[in-house]
Chains A and B, each alone.
Chain A
């Protein structure tokens, strides 16, 4: 057998679903104990590349697969046995949780590897201590926060003693404390001599960790070299358009007094007071699960049984019908898959106005399609779009009925900064905007930033401290 000098070797890799090619002609190699960063804007094929490395593509997920991926001296194509030295942590922890308790989750992989009971309890204890989860071993995973769930999954992977770790956007959707912790974990893994590959969109915190950088653009590998130069290549790809701040007018559009809300016995929001002026842009941050989305739902009167007073245009919100509220407030939720109801992009944009009994002229539709860069896809099915395109579509369909207030829940999730600043420019100054996000770069664009802490709303100085 020939000597293996690089852990991963990718030759002429190409992959696509039915007609659409996702990856084209990719060549690179990664040595053992090397930390590699994969950069690229959303929809460029980072996740697909990671799935190719694990062998899930082409063995479980089908498509047109070309070329060779050699990991640890074995070609991934046609492998019948699962490789136990590759661990992958995907973006959404929700779908990767396979049991109900934290301790069971840590033990799940070990059980599959046929360790005996004594070894398992020893390893579970060891890794729980290492990841500071000892107190939470008996917790239900449902009750953990988003970041903690991610930590549990990483711990489970580490317990299985893997050689190669793949991370898909480990920092996405996390607050600063959690980001630091994940950074520490990655550093520790590198120290232990593991090979790490991380795919990220904006790796501001992580840069110092890596030896090597790959940049992907539209399915092609455009750069292979040092991290510093790679960052500059990425910057070229995502040139920011400047967003001009506008000053708000003086009338109050939305007033919230002493709002509290809870599910069952658990109180999520306590005594919240908030005043929003016309054309103001407001950012709301807070840990995952702190109640940002709940607050947004309350503002739209979608949650009943709340205490307190909400006034929309100096009238109590309970006095409006659901239709009237939808006319005044546009809502864009986090998961774009949940908000698509029609079978083509044009019909989707027309959906809200149709519900409200209006109709859009051709010119208006074309203008929307152009500003949101969707003209070339106007007749295709919304579910065939990439994640970033779906997000743009959901914002476009919320704006189409011309609401006065726009609520955006995690708008940059899966969206590249270039398109997003273009969208913001087109709506800024004309609408009142509420942004629920963790992203510091977004908070800098707002007039005011609030933070939800333990159910209370506190005003925060603009996030320049980062």
Chain B
């Protein structure tokens, strides 16, 4: 149990540091440190880095452009690096905690029903990502070609949202039923095994 508290305090202090510091090289150093921690605590670092890369490719140019429009370029560079190192640290934090561990930790702080909702969300995001991949494969099998301008590509991605959304809504009904059958939320308290 103390291990997860150590992890939490470590990452929270790193997040606070990124908020305080304005030095670019230090910020980059902190994000590298958080990645090293992530390597120590969890095994699937590769998935995280791919996910992070996809996320940052969109956010970094957007932030740079928006910030330079409102202030000047120097400020913009510092702000984007600050933001991206913040996201690196928080991504590393999410990937370091196992689901059960996070549930236990969160239910010390919040009521356990609320904690479980957060944990369930994170877990099902992963499942939804898998479903997205499968659906786009199916669309390809039906002769759809992912070509055209940037806007067209985004529009074709929007087409995927309806099946993903409907399927996860239908799944939610089953999850509710399963939780009910395991007596989740029967009492205000709950014991934790291990």
Contacts and interface: CB of A to CB of B under 8 A. Distances in A.
Nearest to A108: B182
Interface residues of A, number: 64
Interface stretch (B28-36, B62-70, B141-149): B141-149
Interface of A: 51, 54-56, 60-61, 81-82, 84, 86-88, 90, 92, 94-96, 98-101, 104, 107-117, 120-121, 124, 153, 156-157, 160, 297, 300, 302, 322-323, 326-327, 329, 331, 333, 335, 337-341, 351-352, 355-356, 383, 397-398, 401
A84 B185 CA distance: 11
Contacts of B187: 112-114
Nearest to A157: B181
Interface string B26-47: 0000000000000000000000
Interface in B136-194: 137-145, 159, 162-163, 166-167, 170-171, 173-187, 189-194
Contacts of B194: 117
B22 interface: no
Contact of B182 (A92, A109, A326, A398): A109
B99 A337 contact: no
A61 B176 contact: yes
A322 B138 contact: no
From DSSP, what is the main secondary structure of chain B's interface residues? helix
11 contacts: A60-B176, A60-B180, A90-B178, A95-B171, A112-B186, A160-B183, A302-B141, A322-B145, A326-B141, A331-B141, A338-B138
A336 to B, nearest CB: 10
Interface of B: 98-100, 120, 127, 131, 134-135, 137-145, 159, 162-163, 166-167, 170-171, 173-187, 189-194
B143 A327 contact: yes
A352 B175 contact: no
Contacts of A297: 137
A351 B193 CA distance: 52
B5 to A, nearest CB: 20
Contacts of A55: 180
B184 A112 contact: yes
Contacts of A352: 142-143
Nearest to A326: B143
Contacts of A339: 135, 138, 142, 163
Given A352-B143, A355-B142, 14 more contacts: A54-B180, A60-B176, A61-B176, A81-B186, A82-B180, A86-B181, A99-B100, A108-B182, A112-B190, A121-B193, A156-B182, A335-B167, A338-B131, A339-B138
Contact of B173 (A61, A113, A117, A341): A61
Contact of A114 (B141, B163, B189): B189
B183 A331 contact: no
A111 B191 contact: yes
Contacts of B144: 326, 355
A236 B192 CA distance: 52
Contacts of A51: 177
B142 A397 contact: yes
Contacts of A351: 142
A221 to B, nearest CB: 22
